[in-house]
Amino acid sequence: MSEHPHAISNEWLALYYDGELDAKRREQVEAHLSTCTACQRELAALKALSGALAVDRLAADTLTSRSARFAWRELELRLPERAVAASPLLKWLPGMGLLMANVMVQFIAVVGVAVMLVGGRLAWIAQPVAWLNDISFDWLLGWLTWLLPAQWSGWGLSLCLVILTAWLAVLYLAWLGYLWLDHRRPVAHLALAFSESSAC
Amino acid sequence: MTEIVLPGEHDNEREWIARAQVGDKAAYGQLVERYQHLIVSVAYHHGLDLAEAEDAAQETFVKAWLALSRYRESAGSLRAWLCRIAINTARDVHRRERPAQELDEHMPDSDHNPADQAEAQAKRWAVRRALDQLPAASRAALVLREYEGLSYAEIASALDIPQGTVMSRLNYARNRLRELLREAGEVG
């Protein structure tokens, strides 16, 4: 298309023709078109090109009139069954549960042991803070004592918590690994992903 | 001006997509019915005859079914996403299966006499030959705009390019096509 030294460029005309201009610019183009024969010719050329291309347009009834092959039944048979995807909440629930359990056990281990030790020492110095020691054993670590031999000390409890934390961490990493394996696509999916990404 | 129709805005397409994404074939069937003409047309205008385009469309819908769980509306409309798969599939089919062939005799129009049909066939030939001579990237943009009525935003989404590039490719394709059709005597 020929270039023309106007306020309205070819690009604007194409945008106008394709319905991509906002109302204000559309009005500007229309105002210009009403007086400019060169732009009128350009617009007519765009329309003529669309008209020429239209001879190769597939009619709306092409498929229904001719294409018995393109039946949904046939296509449906080619569709592989697909496992119902779990909801995002269910998908993340195990991992989040493991993570939160890990955080909670770490919290109990660190805070519980700290309170136990500090509270125990302070109890000799100042009676008013002795209740920290009770809280430590009764609420934070005490619940574990019935699981363990009676002779185990507070250090034994903390060791137990550290091992539990490590196991939870291992389980969490295993879950992440499972998730990664689950996301690896079969060959067909990889080919499709490549096909999608190579669109230009 | 080509009227742009945006399917899915006023009906239950979102529901069909959501159901199809969790394996509901009946819902997917609704989507196939809606877009099968579009997809056949996209494949057809990428150098395939009608029978090949229908096969490519089936392949497209199987691929789309397999990938549908990864489709997100935020990345673009479903029809743009389907067009993207269809274009790649059509190119694959074209490369894989199509030696130079005679033009498909689709849509014989019984309302017209043989002379009119021959003239229409000749025009179709000229258009298809001209389209074949366009670079693939420009051709894709032009087909999606002129034949399928996609907006620039949808074309950008389908071809994974910026809207400015859509504009420049369309501009180039139209200019080049006019030259080619003028040489063939189809436009003035």
User: What span, in angstroms and rounded, lies between the C-alpha atoms of A188 and B11?
Assistant: 32
Q: Indicate if B80 and B118 belong to the same structural domain.
A: no
Give the nearest partner residue to A57 out of B32, B84, B147, using CB atoms: B147
Q: For residue B167, tell me if it sits in a domain.
A: yes
Hey, which of A81-85, B96-100, B118-122 has the most confident mean pLDDT?
A: B118-122
Flag whether pLDDT at B1 surpasses 70.
Answer: no
Share of chain B above pLDDT 70, in %: 84
Residues 16-35 of A with CB under 8 A from B: 17-20
Name residues whose C-beta falls within 8 Å of residue A48's C-beta, 6 or more positions apart in sequence.
B187, B188
Q: Which of B87, B97, B164, B174 is nearest to B134 (CA)?
A: B174
User: What span, in angstroms and rounded, lies between the C-alpha atoms of A50 and B174?
Assistant: 9
A26 band by pLDDT with thresholds 50, 70 and 90: very high
Q: CA B186 from chain center: how many Å?
A: 22
Summarised one tens digit per residue, pLDDT across range A76-134 is 777 877 655 556 677 788 888 888 988 888 887 777 667 666 655 555 555 555 555 55
B153 band by pLDDT with thresholds 50, 70 and 90: very high
A160 touches B: beta carbon within 8 Å? no
3-state secondary structure of B77: coil
Min CA distance, A113 vs chain B (Å)?
47
Q: Indicate if B66 and B137 belong to the same structural domain.
A: no
User: What span, in angstroms and rounded, lies between the C-alpha atoms of B16 and B85?
Assistant: 19
Q: For residue B185, tell me if it sits in a domain.
A: yes
Check: CB of residue A63 under 8 Å from CB of residue B36.
yes
Name residues whose C-beta falls within 8 Å of residue B169's C-beta, 6 or more positions apart in sequence.
B137, B138, B141, B142, B161
Residue located via tokens 């274009």: B87
Q: Indicate if B80 and B123 belong to the same structural domain.
A: no
Q: Indicate if B32 and B82 belong to the same structural domain.
A: yes
Q: Indicate if B12 and B90 belong to the same structural domain.
A: yes
Q: Which residue has the higher pLDDT, A155 or B4?
A: A155
Question: Given an 8 Å threshold on Cβ–Cβ distance, is A58 in contact with B146?
Answer: no
- For chain A, the C-alpha Rg in angstroms (whole number) is 37
Q: Which residue has the higher pLDDT, A137 or B179?
A: B179
Q: Which residue has the higher pLDDT, B67 or A81?
A: B67
Give the nearest partner residue to B41 out of A46, A58, A67, using CB atoms: A58
Concatenated DSSP letters of A87-140: PHHHHHHHHHHHHHHHHHHHHIIIIIHHHHHHHHHHHHH-GGGTHHHHHIIIII
Flag whether pLDDT at B175 surpasses 60.
Answer: yes
Stretch B95-114: mean pLDDT, rounded?
Answer: 57
Residue B83 pLDDT: 95
Q: Which of B57, B60, B71 is nearest to B16 (CA)?
A: B71
Q: For residue B17, tell me if it sits in a domain.
A: yes
A5 band by pLDDT with thresholds 50, 70 and 90: low
Contact pairs from chain A to chain B, CB under 8 Å: 151
Summarised one tens digit per residue, pLDDT across range A147-192 is 555 555 666 667 777 888 889 889 988 888 877 776 554 444 444 4
Flag whether pLDDT at B140 surpasses 90.
Answer: yes
Residue A18 pLDDT: 94
Concatenated DSSP letters of A22-55: -HHHHHHHHHHHTT-HHHHHHHHHHHHHHHHHGG
Structure tokens at A176: 């992440």
User: What span, in angstroms and rounded, lies between the C-alpha atoms of B169 and A187?
Assistant: 33
Q: For residue B105, tell me if it sits in a domain.
A: no
Cα-based angle A179, B26, B144 (whole degrees, multiple of 5): 85
Q: Indicate if B125 and B84 belong to the same structural domain.
A: no
A200 band by pLDDT with thresholds 50, 70 and 90: very low
B145 band by pLDDT with thresholds 50, 70 and 90: very high
Name residues whose C-beta falls within 8 Å of residue B27's C-beta, 6 or more positions apart in sequence.
B15, B16, B17, B19, B20
Residue B108 pLDDT: 47
Flag whether pLDDT at B103 surpasses 60.
Answer: no
CATH code where residue B78 lies: 1.10.1740.10
Q: For residue B27, tell me if it sits in a domain.
A: yes
Q: For residue B107, tell me if it sits in a domain.
A: no
Q: Indicate if B170 and B122 belong to the same structural domain.
A: yes
In chain B, the number of structural domains is: 2
Q: What is the pTM of this model?
A: 0.63
Q: Which residue has the higher pLDDT, A66 or B177?
A: B177
Flag whether pLDDT at B90 surpasses 80.
Answer: yes
Q: For residue B106, tell me if it sits in a domain.
A: no
Residue located via tokens 């990345």: B75
Min CA distance, B151 vs chain A (Å)?
8
Least confidently predicted of B9-23, B43-57, B74-88, B128-142 = B9-23
Check: CB of residue B149 under 8 Å from CB of residue B5.
yes
B131 band by pLDDT with thresholds 50, 70 and 90: very high
Question: Given an 8 Å threshold on Cβ–Cβ distance, is A49 in contact with B152?
Answer: no
Q: For residue B131, tell me if it sits in a domain.
A: yes
Give me the residue spans of the domains in chain A: 10-65, 88-197
B184: domain range? 114-188
Q: Indicate if B81 and B12 belong to the same structural domain.
A: yes
Average confidence score pLDDT of chain B: 84
Name residues whose C-beta falls within 8 Å of residue B107's C-beta, 6 or more positions apart in sequence.
A58, A59, A62, A66
Structure tokens at A49: 């090109």
Summarised one tens digit per residue, pLDDT across range B22-39 is 888 889 999 998 998 899
Q: Indicate if B119 and B187 belong to the same structural domain.
A: yes
Flag whether pLDDT at A146 surpasses 60.
Answer: no
Q: Indicate if B81 and B139 belong to the same structural domain.
A: no
Name residues whose C-beta falls within 8 Å of residue A63's C-beta, 6 or more positions apart in sequence.
A70, B36, B37, B40, B54
DSSP tag of A199:
-
Q: Indicate if B89 and B127 belong to the same structural domain.
A: no
Check: CB of residue A138 under 8 Å from CB of residue A112.
no
Q: Indicate if B88 and B164 belong to the same structural domain.
A: no
